[in-house]
Amino acid sequence: MGSAADQRAALRRLLTHPDEDGRAGAVLLDFDGPVTDLFRGRSTAPVADRIKEAVRAFWGPLDADVESCDDSHGILRRLRDMYDRPASAPRDPRALLVAEKIVTAYEYEVVETADPAPHALRLIDVLADHAIPLVIVSNNADGPIWEFFKSAKVQRQEKVTAVVGRDPLELRNMKPDPDSVLRAVDLLGTRPGHCLLVGDQITDLQAAQRAGTPFLGYTQSSERAARMLDLGAYCVAPSHEPLINAVESLSRPN
Quick: pLDDT tens for 159-209.
Answer: 999 999 999 999 999 999 999 999 999 999 999 998 999 999 999 999 999
Q: Judge if pTM exceeds 0.85.
A: yes
Q: Would you say 197 and 204 are in contact if contact means Cβ atoms under 8 Å apart?
A: yes
Per residue in 141-156, pLDDT (tens digit) is 999 999 999 999 999 9
Give the separation between CA 64 and CA 60, rounded to whole angstroms: 13
Q: Which residues pair with 215 in a beta bridge?
A: 197
CA dist., res. 183 & res. 105, Å (int): 24
Confidence of residue 17 (pLDDT cuts 50, 70, 90): low
Stretch 21-34: mean pLDDT: 81
Can you give the pLDDT at residue 15? 76
Task: Report yes or no: 52 and 219 within 8 Å, Cβ to Cβ.
Answer: no
Please tell me the predicted confidence (pLDDT) of residue 218.
Answer: 96
Q: Using one digit for the tens of pLDDT, what is the confidence trace for 38-75?
A: 998 889 999 999 999 999 999 999 999 999 999 999 99
User: Strand, helix or coil at 136?
Assistant: strand
Average pLDDT, the chain: 92
Per-residue pLDDT, averaged over 212-227, amounts to 95
pLDDT at 1: 47
Per-residue model confidence (pLDDT) at position 128: 96
Q: What letter does residue 216 receive in the DSSP assignment? A: E
